[in-house]
Structure 1
Amino acid sequence: MTARRTLTALLTAAVAFGGTVLLGAPAAQADSLGTLAAAPATGSDVSPMALKTSGTCPDPADYLIVSVTGAGFPAAGQNVVGNSPVSIYPSAGSGYEVPLTETMRDYANTAGFKTLQGRYEFTVTCRRAFGSDTYGDFKGSIWFTSNTAYQSTAPAVATTASLTMSPAGSSVQGSAVTFTAKITPSTAPGSVRFYDGTSPYGPPVTVTNGSAKLTSTALAAGTHSLKAQFTPANPANHIASSSAAVPYTVKLRPPTVTTAPKITGTVRVGSTVTCSVKFSGATTVRHQWLRDGTAISGATGATRVLGAADRAHKLSCRPSGVNSGGTTTATSPAVTVATGPALRATTAPAISGTAKVGSKLTAKAGTWTPAAQSYSYVWKRDGKAISGATKSTYTAVKADKGHKLSLTVTAGRAGFANGSATSKSVTVS
């Protein structure tokens, strides 16, 4: 009965002072004795609340006082239970159950503010009835998740995730690309999973000091939408978050030469040669032929028929492999173009006219491959050249009578060796 009367007197005194008991506040902070737990664990701003200590006050402390700190209350704390003998509180396991004299809304009104928010820490201080000596504290907290509702566990902390890429914006296929996720707060433990669109990219990466990195060379050519997703180690403590999508382009790697260029075929005038080369990754292969290192106008095919202008010059080819990522160019070794083969008669030369003394004979040059551009003539008597008889016509003389006349034609073409052929003979009468 005595304990109850004492508790009633203290509660009445608390009300008389507007819910704030100022009696005997401790002069100094003492050592921690343990923890406090709010009962009930969840409630509202106008619901009754008690604090359960994890232990009892040590000798010679036989009184306690309770204060609260947090948003709206004085920095030094506001008393919510005045200096009271520990004997009036019912046992709560190994400690005490200390009812608050008013509600949190009442205490907020007394302190002069309206919005209850965030964490509020209660301190039960063990002391004597008089004097300033204290003998240790029990501490515990509640969190207001709105102006009217509290809980006895810390709410999960919101996090933010951001993603940067290096190199920024774009890269070349096959080159190293680094994903860097920044997590705020930096103390939030957990892991980051990177995504390419909706598909995971790479394994989860542990967050260290607020950062997670992944370096890869396997990002495919094309456009991408990349993001980082943070998963907290303990969802009760932190909230998962995702970064904004980061657009990224991987350019196709320029073609690579897999077989070096070279000129194949017979390198002489009149022959067709080929610029032989192999590229990896090329969508188009372009060619340029060079003469003595200078580009030949219009010579842009994979093959080239060698002409007279090429004879005795250094010929090379310069192929280029092309794709959307760029152009790769290589040049073949140079080769010297040889003289073309001798012209060949496809129709033999012939002598036209009447083969008799005083008659004019005319040379028929015949046909040649490749086509001849010039001809020279040698008339012969019995197979021997007739002095001065080098024109396309010849008039038979007395010395020819009874002898055989023939004609040797030499055909010429620029870049080719000369070709020669002899007609059938005719007997002069």
Structure 2
Amino acid sequence: MTPRKTLAALLTGAVGVLGGLVLLGAPAAQADTLGTLTPSPATGADISPMSLTTSGSCPEPATHILVSVTGAGFPAEGQNVVGNSEIGIYPVVGSGYEVPLTETMRDYANTAGFKTLEGRYEFTVTCRKAFGTATYGDFKGSIWFTSNTAYQSTAPVQATTTSLTVAPAGSVTQGTSVKLTAKITPSTAPGSVRFLDGTTPYGSPVTVSNGTASLSTTTLAVGAHSLKAQFTPANPANHTGSVSAAVPLTVKVRAPSVTTAPKVTGTAKVGSKVTCAVKFSGATTVRHQWLRDGKVITGATASTRTLDSTDRTHKVSCRPSGVNTGGTTTVTSPAVTVATGPALKVKTAPAISGTAKVGKKLTAKAGTWTPAAQSYTYVWKRAGKAISGATKSTYTAVKADKGHTLTVTVTAKRSGYANGAATTKSVKVT
């Protein structure tokens, strides 16, 4: 590997000898991008030495490279910072080359005639031959100056601002379409906007397009609202999030009134059907929502509900809503505690199959039950007394069984219901 000092001297010579040739103009054709450049060190100062490592090698028939830089202060077409030089003088790093810059960014700025380094500067390593204008691809990479003297190799986080407009403004009647429009600055910041009513999210996040996100709604509830727009960037490494100032909106309605308070009627136990009983004055539609321990039960929106095992021992209530064109009135019933359902009932009695003879295996069939059992337990009995350890669906008769009768008591179980039990007919062991 060529020592850095010698390599730098070679590059300086290349700039001096070939600079006039390279600076005559840009290559005649636009080259394809072959890969990326990695600046080293990743952070530094305007007077720091720097090198660029390509992500790959130049394709044939390229034998030389040159390096240029663009950005604030430099010519639009770029300024050459490493002259046309042989690829072979550069150390190979991985599948690419390490190309040291011959001077610092401060030196290049002075050459270009400006003093302030700011924003993004893009370097381009162009693959070419020693002579001619044909090029064979570029490697590109950038650094960002966060001050006049400090740079980093990752884009700095850019601050954003969010503003919100509400139309119509001030106050509306419930049911009127209200449009919330958020504007994000800078408009190029990608991300999404979540609209807030106070601190509560309203609707789903909306993707920002050209710096704008909007949501139209007719479902704002009666009362005063404090609406905001919250921007979440797609890449927090590039942009900050931001929240708009609150915009007040009052929704005015005439809602139905309750004439008979809601209550849950029926037997509150697993397997039973209960009804949400309520009366509204002036309602054209009545909607229902069932609650368990004060929380919404997803999908439970009928006026009746058959209680299931998930309700057992919990408090169930209903939340009816009276609706008309003027608005919605929602009330919640007192809760009832759901008891365990009745014991499972046998439909087809359990039975013992197999040969009732010492040394033979017998099998207990569980039978069928209503409602359907989820699991069973078994107790084998000899002459009506439980046999120690005989609690599986199968049992092999032993000498102690000879001359005695065997039965099996099957217990059927289902979550939320009391257990059911039934005993098979007896068989005599020979």
* TM-score interval (norm. to shorter): 0.5 to 0.7
- Provide the secondary structure at the position in 2 that maps to 1:101: coil
Q: CA deviation at 1:279?
A: 7.7
Q: CA deviation at 1:186?
A: 4.3
Amino acid at match of 1:236: A
Amino acid at match of 2:245: A
Give 2:227's aligned residue.
Answer: 226
CA contact (8 A) 1:32 1:137 kept: yes
Amino acid at match of 1:27: P
Q: CA deviation at 1:111?
A: 1.0
Give 1:41's aligned residue.
Answer: 42
Q: CA deviation at 1:7?
A: 4.9
- 1:241 paired to 2:231: no
Is there any run of 5+ residues in structure 2 with no aligned partner, and where? 260-279, 284-325, 327-430
Q: CA deviation at 1:70?
A: 0.6
Give 1:159's aligned residue.
Answer: 160
Please give the alpha-carbon distance, in whole angstroms, between the structure 2 residues aligned to 1:13 and 1:130.
13
Please give the alpha-carbon distance, in whole angstroms, between the structure 1 residues aligned to 2:223 and 2:94.
66
Give 1:178's aligned residue.
Answer: 179
Give 1:24's aligned residue.
Answer: 22
Give per-residue Cα distances to partners, 1:208-249, cap 9 Å, x unaligned.
454333333443433332210011122123221222221222
Please give the alpha-carbon distance, in whole angstroms, between the structure 2 residues aligned to 1:8 and 1:256.
89
Amino acid at match of 2:39: A
Give 1:136's aligned residue.
Answer: 137
Dislocated runs of 4+, deviation >6 Å: 1-4, 255-259, 278-281
- Provide the secondary structure at the position in 2 that maps to 1:110: helix
- Provide the secondary structure at the position in 2 that maps to 1:202: strand
Q: CA deviation at 1:169?
A: 2.0
Give 2:82's aligned residue.
Answer: 81
Report how many residues are paired.
260
- 1:195 paired to 2:193: no
Q: CA deviation at 1:41?
A: 1.6
**Structure 2 counterparts to residues 19-418 of structure 1, below 5 A:** 21-25=19-23, 26-28=26-28, 29-251=30-252, 253-254=253-254
Amino acid at match of 2:251: V
CA contact (8 A) 1:7 1:84 kept: no
TM-score calculated relative to the size of structure 1: 0.54
Give 1:303's aligned residue.
Answer: none
CA contact (8 A) 1:7 1:88 kept: no
- Provide the secondary structure at the position in 1 that maps to 2:22: coil
**Structure 2 counterparts to residues 417-428 of structure 1, below 5 A:** none
Please give the alpha-carbon distance, in whole angstroms, between the structure 1 residues aligned to 2:108 and 2:218.
61
Give per-residue Cα distances to partners, 1:83-105, cap 9 Å, x unaligned.
11111110111010000011111
- Provide the secondary structure at the position in 2 that maps to 1:161: strand
- Distance change in 2, residues 1:255/1:241 (3 Å): closer
- Distance change in 2, residues 1:209/1:74 (3 Å): closer
CA contact (8 A) 1:55 1:95 kept: yes
Please give the alpha-carbon distance, in whole angstroms, between the structure 2 residues aligned to 1:11 and 1:141.
22
CA contact (8 A) 1:24 1:132 kept: no
Please give the alpha-carbon distance, in whole angstroms, between the structure 1 residues aligned to 2:7 and 2:86.
8
Please give the alpha-carbon distance, in whole angstroms, between the structure 1 residues aligned to 2:9 and 2:53.
19
Give per-residue Cα distances to partners, 1:287-315, cap 9 Å, x unaligned.
xxxxxxxxxxxxxxxxxxxxxxxxxxxxx
- Provide the secondary structure at the position in 2 that maps to 1:109: helix
Amino acid at match of 1:24: V
- Percent identity, aligned pairs only, is 70
Please give the alpha-carbon distance, in whole angstroms, between the structure 2 residues aligned to 1:32 and 1:13.
24
- Distance change in 2, residues 1:131/1:255 (3 Å): closer
- Provide the secondary structure at the position in 2 that maps to 1:59: coil
